[in-house]
Structure 1
Amino acid sequence: MAMENLSIQERQLNTIDKEYIAHVRKSDGSEQLLYDHLTGTAEIAKNLATKIGLPLSGELIGLVHDLGKYSQAFQTYIRDSITYDNYKDLDLDEDEEAEILLKGKPKRGSVDHSTAGAIYLYEQFENISTSRIDKITREKTKIGQGQLLADILFICVASHHSGMVNVVDKEGNRYLQNRKQKEEDKSHYQESLTNATNNDVFSHLDKKVKSATLKEFTNIIASLLVDKSSTDKQKDFYIGFYARMLFSCLIDADRSNSIAFEYPSQAHLLNYSRPDWQTAIDKVEALYDGFANKAKNSPPNPINHQRNLIASTCYETGQKAQGIYTLTVPTGGGKTLASLRFAVQHAKRHNLDRIIYIIPFTSIIEQNAQEVRDILEEKLADGSYVGDWVLEQHSNLEPDLQTWQSKLIMDNWNAPIVFTTMVQFLESCFGGGTKGVRRLHQLSRAVLIFDEIQTLPINCYYLFCNAINFLTSHANSTAVLCTATQPVLNSLPIEHNGSLNPATEIVGNRDQLTELFDTLKRVEIHDHTEKPKDLDSLTDYISENFDKYASTLVIVNTKIWASQLYQSLAESLPEDELYHLSTGQCALHRKDLLAQIRARLKQGLPTLVISTQLIEAGVDVSFASVIRFLAGLDSIAQASGRCNRHGEMRDENGNPTKGQVFIVKPDKESLSKLPTIKLGKEQMENHILPLLSQAENRDKHLLDPNIMTDFFRVFYITDFAKQQMAYPVKQTDGKSFGSDTIFGWTSNNSLNPAVDNDNASRLKNGQFPKLWQSFMDAGRAFKAIDAPTKAVIVPYGDEGRMLITALYGTQFNDKDFYKLVQKVQQYSVNVFPYMFDKLQQEHAIEQVRDTGIFTLSEKFYDEHMGLNTVGDSKLGFIEGF
C-alpha cells in the first residue's frame, strides 16, 4: 500500500504515531522503539550466525522478524494494551493462539506480526539463482538457489513465536505455501513494508547485500552437497538442521534484546566473550602436576598408572583435528578429569567458544560440575564460588507454552563450561516451540562431551547420530563420546538413515583397549539368575550378602522394586544403615544422601543402599559388593563400576582383592514402560550368558570390550531395535501413523504423498535441494512420544522451604529473580504427566504466579522416599517450621 493511497484518517494516525514501538517495559512504562528492536536484534543475530557461516542471513532475519509491528493494527493493539494495563503475551501470533485454545486456555487478542517479514525476505530471494562449478565433477550446476534460501529465511521469521512451522504436514497439506499467500488484511505486509521503508529500516539492503547473502549461503550448501559419504536423506536432514540452527540464532537474538530492554539490570547476563582457555589449562595442568608429585612418594598403583596414561593421551589428542572421538574407559578410570584435559586443550587449539558436558541424569550433574568447579573457580568459606566458568542446568522449569516472563528467564547456556542433560540436548535439537531451540546455536564452535553415551535412548539413535555428524562436519564442533560400554553407533543396521561418522578412539586400538580393561578389572561377576526370586527371597538374599560384605549396593530396574525392597529390609535393619535412592528425590536430596553414604563407606560402617539405575552411570561410590537385577550388559558393566571402584579393597595380608558383583533375576517385573531394559535383559539371557559358557570363551569376562561390542551388535539387529532407532511416530491413542518417523519428518519426508509426488520432478526443475520437512509435527511428536516430564520444586530442607517462600515473595522484575530460579533447580523433581495431573487433583502443587514454575506441598515429600503422592510424608528434616 503506497503512502498516497492511505486514507485521510490513516494519514492522521501515522502523524499521531510518529514512533513505532515494539515493547513496553512493564515496570515503568518505557517504550522500546521498533527500529531499535529490529536493528538491535539484527546485530545480535548476525554475530550468532557467524558461527555457522551465515552472518548476513542472520542479520536479515533479525532485521525483519517483527516487520508486522509496523502495521497500524499492531500499534493500536499495543497502545490499547498499555491503556488497559493488559500488556501480556503480546508476541503471540495466530498459530500460537491456536495452541492456547487447544489447551483450554482463554483466547487473548493478537496481531500477526511475523508473516510480513517472512514474505518480504521470500520475495527478495525466490527468483534469484546461482551457478557453481562442482570441484569434483567440474560441471556447472545449480545449487544453493535463491528458492531454498528464500524458504529457509521465510520459515525462520514466520516461526519465531510458534516454533518451526511445517513445509508440509503429516496429512500432506502444504502449510508453507499457504502461509506465503496469507491475505493482506491478516499479514499487513504491504502496509508494514511501506512504514518500515519510510523509517529507513532497509536503508542498507541493496543488490550487493542480497548477492553476498546468496553467495554465502550457496557456499555453505555446496560444501554439504559434495559430501560423498552422506546419503540424499542425510543431506535433506542436514539442510533442515541448518534452518534450525539459523532459527536458533534469531530466537536467542530476539529474546536477548527483549531481556536487555525489559530488565536492564540483567543485561550483563547476556554478554559473552570467549574465555581465556590458557587460564583453564594452567589450572588443569597444576592439578595433574600435583598427581604426579604425589605418585612419586607413594607405592606403585596400577590403577593410578592407567589413569595417568589415559589423561596423557587426552592431553595429546586435544591438539589434534576437530571431529568425533570416543573415550572408552572402564568405570573409575578418571573420565571426567581426562575429558576436561582434552577439552580445554582442544578449545584453545581451535579457538572454540565453550565446552558442554551432556550427562544422562540430573543426579550426577552436580557431582561432575563441582569437580570441574573446584579446579577452575575459587571456593569461599561459605561454600560459594568466585568465577564464571561453570553453569549447571539441573532441570527445565519453563512451561510447555511459554509466557512472556518464562521466555526472559530462559537459560541459554551462556557460559564457558556448561553441564546439562541428554534430554535438554535432544530437546534443543528436535523439540517443538521456541524453548529449547534458543540454545541450539551454542552447540556450534564447541567441544561436546557426552558422558555415559550408552544411556542414549534407542529411539533417538538416528536423530542423534545425524545431529552429531552435522555439528562436527558443518558447525565447527568436536564431539567426545565417553563411556565404559561404548555403543557401536557407527554401524547401525539401516544404512540409508545414516550411522555416526567414523570416530577416533582416544585410548588407542582394540588391543590397547583390551589391555586397559584387563588392567583395571577390579571385580568378579557371578551369574545367579538360574532361579528367579520373589520379594521374600530377595530380601533374605540381600540380607545375607550385607551380613557378609558390610557394604552392599542393590540396583533394580523399577521404582516399585526399589520401594518394596527398601520397606521390606527396613523391618529388620537399623535406619542409619539403610538408604533409598530414586528420581523421586530432588538433586540436592540425593546429593546429601550420597554424602552420608560416602562418609559411612569411608569409615567402614555397614551401609546398604537400594537404588534405581540412576546410580550406575558415573556416580562416584565404591561398595564391597553389588547386586544387580538382570538387564543389558551395558547396565551390568556400569553397576560393576560402583564396586571396588578405586581398587582399594585388600585382603588380610594387604594384597589387592576384587569386589563381588552378583546378577539376580526377580520373579515378577513389569518392564513394559522400559522396553530398552527389557530387550537388553532378553539379549543377555539368550545370547551373551550362553556365549560365555562356551569352552572357548571361558577365559573371557563380561567386561571385555569385545564382548560388549558383541552385545550391542546382537542388540541392534533385533526387530524392536531397528523399528525404534528412527523414532517411530504414534498418535496420542498409541496407534501408529504407519511407518512415519521423526527422522523421516526432519529429513526427506519420503512417506508423505505430497513429497513423493514431487520427488521425481525436483531434479528436473533444478530445485534440488529443497525443503520437505514437517518441522512442527516432528517437534510435537518428539515431546509427545518422549512423555515429557515437568519440574516441580520440592520443600527439601530448611533452605528449600525458604527458597519456595522467596519465589512467591520476589517480584519477577527483581534483579535477583533469575539467580533465584537457578538456585531452585537443585530442589526440583521431574514428574511424568499422569503424576503431575494427580498432584494437581490433590491440590499438592501450586504455580508461582504465571512463571510456569510449580512448587510442591510439604506433606507430599518424604525424607526417605522423596515424592509421595499419598500426602502422608514425614518431613523430619524440616522440623521447627
Structure 2
Amino acid sequence: MTLLRDDAHLYCTFIAHVRQSDGAEQPLYDHLTGTAAIAKALAAKIGLPLSGELIGLVHDLGKYSTAFQEYLKKSVAYDKYQHLDEDEEAGLLLDSKPKRGSVDHSTAGAIYLNEQFKKLSSSYIQAHSQQKIRRYEGQLLADMLFICVASHHSGLINIVGQNTQPYLSERKNKPEEKTHYTQALEHAQQEQLFAQLGGSFKKDTLKEFQSIVKKIMTDSRATDKQKDFYLGFLTRLLFSCLIDADRSNSIAFEHPNQAHLLDCKRADWQIAIDKVETLYQGFADKAEQSPPNPINEQRNHIAQTCLHAAQSDQGIFTLTVPTGGGKTLASLRFAVQHAKRHNLERIVYIIPFTSIIEQNATEVRKILEEEGSDGIFDGQWVLEQHSNLEPEVQTWQSKLIMDNWNAPIVFTTMVQFLESCFGGGTKGVRRLHQLSRAVLIFDEIQTLPMNCYYLFCSALNFLTTHASATAVLCTATQPVLDNLPIAHNGSLNPATEIIGERAQLHNLFDTLQRVDIHDHTEKPQDLDGLTNYASDNFAKFSSTLVIVNTKVWASQLYQKLSETVPEDELYHLSTSQCARHRKDLLDQIRHRLKQGLPTLVISTQLIEAGVDVSFRSVVRFLAGLDSIAQAAGRCNRHGEMRDDQGASVKGQVFIICPESENLNKLPTIAQGKAIMSNILSQWAHNTYGDVHLLHPDIMQQFFHHYYQTEHGIKEMAYPIKDSRGKSTGTETLYNWLSSNSTNPLTNNNNTQRHQAEQFPQLWQSFMDAGRTFKAIDAPTKAIIVPYLEKGRHLISALCNTSVNDSHFYQLVRDAQQYSINVFAHTFDALFTVGALHTVRDTGIFILSEAFYDAQMGLNLEGTSELDLLAF
C-alpha cells in the first residue's frame, strides 16, 4: 500500500500506526509479531501461551486491507495538513477526517482463527463416547479466540444479547465488503506473517486448551452454573492478555521514552523477606526489654502464624484478626514468603477505601524501599492506585497514564478490582491478567458490595483454582461467603483460617478485647439531643470519635458542635475532602491524641476500616454489627489506656440512634441496622450467654441473618435494575455472565443444555453485562481539587504541561491524592455553574478554588465557607 511521506515519495509496505510526534511509521508486521510475543508471555500465566500468541498475531489482521491503509493515509494527512488554507487543502484533495472505527480491522483476524480451528476440530474427532465433547472443545476455543480478537477495541462482545440477537453468529457472518478478510489474509501471507506457525502449532494450541477446559469441567466444587461462569472468565483473562499486549506495544512505539515503564521486572522476594524479618526481629528485641504486653504478644502470635501458613499450598485463606491486631504487617509477612515459595509475580492489596490506601502503602514502602537500593523499578516496590482519576476518552495520552499494575506490590481499591473483573470496555480489563500468579490480599473484606457476592466468589474461585493465585480475606468481621443461600449459584470455595481452629480464634478475640460496649439506642434523639450527647461524652473522656452513617449528619452535627467546641479541638472527616486533606487532618488528630489534648472528631464510616487512630471513647450511630465492630477498633486500639495507678482499663463504645436519617440510597446500612436492633434486644436479655457483643459467634449469626433477608437474597447475584434503581424482575448480572438460562436463545432447559452435545459452550452476554455493571450503585467521577498550595500547583502544572511530556504521567499520579469522587448529579451541578474545567482532551476535570473549603472540603455553593450545602 502507499502512504504519504514528508517527501511525497511513494513506498510499499503495510503500516500499523504513525507516530504523532514525528511521523515515524510502525510496520504492521512489527506490531503484530511484537504484540504476539507479549501476549504469549502473559497468557502463559493462565496456561494458554499459544492461544495468546495467536490472538496477538492476528488481532489487527484487517489492517492489511486496502481500505484500512487508505483510511490511515487520510487520517495522517488530515492531521498534518488541516491547518492549511483552502487552496492548499484543495490541492491535496483532502476531505474531512475519516471517522474513527469506520474501517473494521478486528473481524478479519477473528474470522481467520474461527476458520482454522473449526477445520482442525472437525478432523480431530474420534469415534468414541467423548467425540462430541472434543468437537465442542474445538469450537469453544474457536469462539474464545474469535471473541478476543473481534472485541479488542469495543470490549467483550455478546455471545447472545439480551435483545435476543445471536450476536456472535451474526459477527462471524459479517460480509466480505465490511471485513476485507480475503484481501487482508492474502497481503498477510505475502509478508509471511504466519511463517513461524509450524504444522503442529494449531493442534498444540488445542491440546493446551483442552487441558484447561478439562480441569474446569471436572472441578468437583463448582456447580454447572459456576462452570459456565468459569469459561466466560477464562475468555476475559485471555482477552486481558491481548489488550495489555496490544496497548503496551503501541505505547512503546508512540512514546519510546516511556517504554521502560512497560518492562515487566520480576521481584527478588528474598530481598523483601529479609527486610520484613529484620523488622520483626526488631520487634522481638524491643519486647525482651519491655514489660509484658498482652496486645503485643498476640500480634506477635498472629505474625508467627502467618509466617508458618505461608509455606502452605496455594488456595483461599482467611485471616480473622480483631482490629488493632497488626494484620497489615502480618499479611505482608505471609505474602512475601508465599510469593517466594510458589514463585509468584506480584502481591496485590485490595482495599475498600482510597482513604486508607496511602496509609497502608506508606507503611509497606517504608519497610521495602530504601533510597538507591535494589534496582527494582528504580527501587520502587509499591504502586498505588488511589482513585478513578483516569480519562474516559481512549487517546494515546490516556493510554500512557493508565496503569496496568506492573509492579511487585500493588495497592488498589475493591472498586478497581471489581471493574477489572466485570466492567465493560477495555480500560479496566487490561489489568485483569495481573491477578494470576499473584497473592491477593483483601483488606476489610466485609465491605464487599452485597450485589457482587456471587460474582466475587466465582471469580476468586477461578483465580485460585485455575489461575495460580492465592487469596487472603482479612477482617475482624469475617463474612460467611462459603455458605451463601442460593446453592446452584455456588459459594466461595472452602477457606483455611490462618489463625487456626475456632478455639484459638475465640481465645484471640478474648485476649484482644479492649472495649466495653453500651447500648443507648432505646431513645432515638434529634440533632439537639445528639449534639448534647456528643458534648457530654467529650467532656467526660476528652477524646471522642463520633461515627455517623451519612455525610448530611456529619455536616449538621459538626456545624452544631462548632458553636460550643473550640475550633482547634473539633474535626470533620468525610469523602467530601480529598485524600491529602484527610491525611493532613488525621495527622493533626493523631498528634493531639498522642499529646493527650482534647479531640472531638465527627466522621462518616470512612474512618472505620483500617485507619490507625485510638480514642478513649467512640460513639457510633446504629448500624450493622460489622460496622460497630470496626468502630470499636478505633477505641483503645493498642490497649494503651491506664488508670491513675497504671492498671489497664477498657475503652468505652456507645451505640446511639438518631430520630431520622435518610438511608434510601444506603440499603446495606439500613438492613444491617434493622438486624442489629434485634441482636441488641437479644443481647440485652442475655440470649447469647455471657459473651462479648463482638464475639465471632455473634458476628457469624449476624451475617447469617443478613444473608437470609429478602434484600440479601435478591441482592447477591447483582439484580438488573432500571434507571430508577428498581429491579426489573428475576434477571441478574451473574446469570448474564454464566449460563444465561433465561435467554430464549440459550435454551431454558439447563439439564438438556448441560448434556455432552451442548456443553461446554459459551452463553454469555458480555457486552450487556459490562455496560450494566458498576462496582458501586451510584457511579462517581473523579475531579482534582485545589487543596492548599500543592493542589493548586498540580492543577497549574497539568494545565501547562504538554500531555506528551514524560512529566505529565507523574503529575497525574500525584494528583490522585488531590482528587475527590462525586456522584453524577453533583458533577452535573458543578459543571452547570462553571465550577469544573477540563485538562485539554484528556477527560480529567479540575475544580475552581471557590468550591473547595479548607475545613469541610467540597462546597457546592462556591463560597468556601463553613456552611456546606447538605447533599
For the superposition of Structure 1 and Structure 2, which TM-score range results when normalised by the shorter chain? over 0.9
- Give the secondary structure class of the aligned counterpart of 1:169: coil
Which amino acid in the other structure matches residue 446 of structure 1?
A
Find the counterpart in structure 1 of residue 859 from structure 2. Answer: 868
Letter in 2 for 1:721: G
| 1:437 corresponds to | 429
Q: Which residue identity lines up with residue 25 of structure 1 in the other structure?
A: R
Instruction: Count how many residue pairs are aligned between Structure 1 and Structure 2.
Output: 841
Q: Is the 8 A contact 2:14 2:64 kept in 1?
A: yes
Counterpart in 2 of 1:94? Answer: none
Q: Distance in 2 between matches of 1:621 and 1:476?
A: 36
1:675 aligns with 2:673: no
For residues 365 and 785 of structure 1, do their structure 2 counterparts lie closer, same or farther at Cα, with a shift above 3 Å needed?
Answer: closer
Q: Is the 8 A contact 1:551 1:608 kept in 2?
A: yes
Deviation at 1:397, TM superposition (A): 1.7
Partner of 1:319: 311
Task: Select between 281-290 and 726-735 the one with higher mean Cα deviation.
Answer: 726-735
Residue in 2 that maps onto 1:159: 151
CA-CA distance at 1:749 after TM superposition? 0.3
Q: Deviations over 1:280-310 (max 9, x none)?
A: 0000000000000000000000000000000
Match of 1:100 in 2: none
Quick one: which amino acid aligns to residue 32 of structure 1? Q
Which is worse superposed, 519-528 or 801-810?
A: 801-810
- Distance 1:139-1:689 versus aligned 2 partners, 3 A rule: farther
Match of 1:75 among 56, 69, 75: 69
Q: Does 1:507 align with 2:482?
A: no
1:612 and 2:604 are equivalent in the alignment: yes
2:17 equivalent among 6, 19, 23 = 23
In structure 2, what is the Cα distance between the partners aligned to 1:57 and 1:620? 46
1:799 aligns with 2:790: yes
8 A Cα contact 2:779 2:824, kept in partner: yes
Which residue does 1:721 correspond to in 2?
712
Partner Cα distance (1:378, 1:415) in 2: 16
Aligned twin of 1:66: 60
* Contact 1:800 1:827 survives alignment (8 Å): yes
- 2:6 aligns with none
Corresponding residue of 1:211 = 203
The TM-score, its normalising length taken from structure 2, stands at 0.94
Matched residues in 2 for 1:207 and 1:233: separation? 37
Residue 736 (structure 1) shift: 3.4
Q: 1:836 aligns with which of 827, 834, 847?
A: 827
Q: Which residue identity does 2:36 align to in structure 1?
A: A
* Correspondent of 1:410 among 393, 399, 402: 402
Change (3 A) 1:785 1:327: closer
Q: Pick from 476, 483, 487: which aligns with 2:479?
A: 487
Report the residue type matching 2:840 in the other structure: R
- Counterpart CA distance in 2 for 1:379 and 1:537 is 53
Give runs of aligned pairs for residues 42-441 of structure 1, distance below 5 A: 42-85=36-79, 108=100, 110-129=102-121, 130=124, 142=134, 145-378=137-370, 387-441=379-433
Contact map agreement 2:232 2:762 (CA 8 A) in 1: yes
In 2, Cα distance between equivalents of 1:85 and 1:624:
65
Tell me the distance in 1 between the aligned counterparts of 2:56 and 2:81: 23
1:602 correspondence with 2:573: no
Checking the alignment, whether the CA contact within 8 Å between 2:415 and 2:776 is kept in structure 1 is no
Q: Secondary structure at the match of 1:128?
A: helix
Over 6 Å off, 4+ runs: 131-134, 137-140
Instruction: Using the TM superposition, name which of 121-130 and 465-474 deviates more.
Output: 121-130
- Which amino acid counterpart does residue 870 of structure 1 have in structure 2? E
CA distance in 1, matches of 2:545, 2:320: 24
C-alpha distance in 2, partners of 1:23/1:139?
A: 44
Give the TM-score of the pair, scaled to structure 1: 0.93
CA-CA distance at 1:107 after TM superposition: 6.0
Distance across 2 between alignment mates of 1:162 and 1:538: 52
Name 2:89's counterpart in structure 1: none
Change beyond 3 A, Cα 1:26–1:758: farther
* SS of residue in 2 equivalent to 1:779: helix
Instruction: Confirm or deny: 8 A CA contact 2:545 2:617 kept in the other structure.
Output: yes
Q: Give the distance between the partners of 2:635 and 2:751, measured in 1 at CA.
A: 59
Q: CA deviation at 1:737?
A: 3.3
Q: Is 1:851 aligned with 2:837?
A: no
Q: Which runs of 5+ in 2 are unaligned?
A: 3-8, 83-97, 867-871
Deviation at residue 405 of structure 1 after TM alignment: 2.2
Q: Report how far residue 71 of structure 1 moved.
A: 1.1
Q: SS of the residue aligned with 2:782?
A: strand
Match for 2:634 among 637, 642, 651? 642
Query: What's 2:693 paired with?
Result: 702
Cα separation, partners in 2 of 1:87 and 1:335, compared to 1, 3 Å: farther
CA distance in 1, matches of 2:263, 2:472: 27
Contact 1:26–1:87 (8 Å) recurs in 2? no
Task: After superposition, give the CA deviation of every residue in 1:700-734 in whole Å (9 maximum; x if it has no partner).
Answer: 11110011001001110001100000000112243
Q: Is the 8 A contact 1:514 1:705 kept in 2?
A: yes
The 3 A distance-change label for structure 1 pair 579 and 341 is same
Q: Deviation string for 1:152-178 (max 9, x for gaps)? A: 001000100110000001121111111
Query: Structure 1 unaligned runs (5+)?
Result: 1-5, 9-14, 89-105, 876-881
> 1:220 & 1:128 partners in 2: Cα distance?
18
For residue 40 of structure 1, what is the amino acid of its counterpart? Answer: G
Residues 131 and 287 (structure 1), Cα distance of their counterparts in 2 relative to 1, 3 Å cut: farther
Kindly state the Cα deviation for residue 387 of structure 1 after the two structures are TM-superposed. 1.7
- CA contact under 8 A between 1:552 and 1:607: conserved in structure 2? yes
1:811 aligned residue: 802
CA shift in 2, pair 1:408/1:222, >3 Å: same
Distance across 2 between alignment mates of 1:185 and 1:828: 47
Secondary structure, counterpart of 1:783 in structure 2: coil
Cα gap change, 1:550 to 1:357, in 2 (>3 Å): same
Maintained 8 Å contact 1:144/1:218: no
Q: Secondary structure at the match of 2:412?
A: strand
Show CA shifts across 1:686-708 (max 9, x none). 2x112212345341111100110
CA contact (8 A) 1:142 1:766 kept: no
Task: State whether structure 2 residue 736 is matched by structure 1 residue 745.
Answer: yes
Is 2:617–2:653's contact at 8 Å kept on the other side of the alignment? yes
Return the letter of the residue paired with 1:775. Answer: F
Change in CA separation of 1:633 and 1:131 when aligned onto 2, cut-off 3 Å: farther
Are the equivalent residues in 2 in contact too, given 1:143–1:222 (CA < 8 A)? no
Aligned position for 1:822: 813
Residue 436 and residue 798 in structure 1: after superposition, are their counterparts in 2 closer, same or farther (change >3 A)? Answer: same
Tell me the C-alpha RMSD between the 2 structures.
Answer: 2.2
Q: Deviation digits for residues 297-337 of structure 1, max 9, x if unmatched?
A: 00000000000000000000001100000000000000000
Contact persistence 2:741–2:748 (CA under 8 A): no
**AA aligned opposite 1:844:** A
* Other structure's SS at 1:320 match: coil
Check conservation: 2:61, 2:188, Cα contact below 8 A. Answer: yes
CA deviation digits over 1:328-364, x for unaligned, max 9?
0000000000000000000000000000000000000
Correspondent of 2:35 among 35, 41, 45 = 41
**Secondary structure class of the residue paired with 1:126:** helix
Aligned partners of 1:655 and 1:743: how far apart in 2? 54
Residue type of the alignment partner of 1:673:
K
Partner SS state of residue 596, structure 1? helix
| Other-structure match for 1:478 | 470
Kept after mapping to 1: 8 A contact 2:747/2:753: no
Report the alpha carbon displacement of residue 399 of structure 1 after superposing the two structures with TM.
3.5
